[in-house]
Amino acid sequence: MISFSEIETTVKRATRSVGFSWGISEEVGKNIRLLEMFGLPGVKNINKYFKIYNGEKFENINLFSKSNISKKHYCPIIAGVNFFDQSSAISDLNYLEISNLAFPLLFIPFVSRTSEILGKRIFLKIDNKEFLFNFNQSIYSNYLSGEIVEKSEKINLQFIENKNSFSESEWSELYKISENTFVEETEESKQKAAGAGLTDND
């Protein structure tokens, strides 16, 4: 089995070879490693994308808005880099759409890493495929196929505000149970704590 570090290095070099800068190439290498770690077909998709990259005219999203529409197809790498760089401003939008993104699975790692930077969960829907990103720690999805996804008609993305999954009363009940481990201080324990770590050499 090929190691994740070898995947990252090879993808980085391949990305540079097709014309991207070394800086972007390093990000793409990390991204494909991340996809493979999460069990998504990163190598398959990037390999197919690079085969057609120089023969196609992909458009770039340079500045994100709530609605991003291309008559052709957006490059997922440039879109991802700019999404990552503009993440703070984009999160203020709360919700955005992208129409016609090529090889959308290559966009996924940028979203996952953004979730970690912002400290927010992000919900992403690629046509009928749903993904929930949890601070770059896990991805919940209904997409179980290892197939190549060449095009998406519409992507919907939503930032989810952080909130507890439990009520205040449930937390209070649990905290009350935890109090059973608390030990009351006695005069003897206070004396021992006060002299802990001290040595009298006189």
Residue 10 to residues 2, 45, 62, 185, Cα–Cα distance (Å)? 11, 14, 27, 60
pLDDT for 38 beyond 60: yes
Rounded to an integer, what distance in angstroms lies between the CA atom of residue 80 and that of residue 86? 10
Specify if 19 maps to a domain: yes
Question: If pLDDT is split at 50, 70 and 90, which confidence band does 146 have?
Answer: confident
Enter the pTM of the model: 0.85
Chain-centroid distance of CA 177 in Å reads: 35
Mean pLDDT of 97-113: 97
Percent of the chain with pLDDT strictly greater than 90: 86
Specify if 63 maps to a domain: yes
Among candidate residues 54, 25, 1, 40, the one with its CA nearest the CA of residue 139: 40
Task: Specify whether the CB–CB gap between 29 and 20 falls below 8 A.
Answer: no
Specify if 88 maps to a domain: yes
Q: What's the domain count of the chain? A: 1
Residue 110 to residues 90, 95, 107, 135, 196, Cα–Cα distance (Å)? 13, 16, 6, 12, 50
Predicted confidence at residue 186, as pLDDT, reads 64
Question: If pLDDT is split at 50, 70 and 90, which confidence band does 182 have?
Answer: confident
Residue 39 domain boundaries: 4-160
Specify if 199 maps to a domain: no
Specify if 184 maps to a domain: no
Predicted confidence at residue 189, as pLDDT, reads 59
- Phi then psi for residue 124, to 5 deg, are -130, 130
Specify if 197 maps to a domain: no
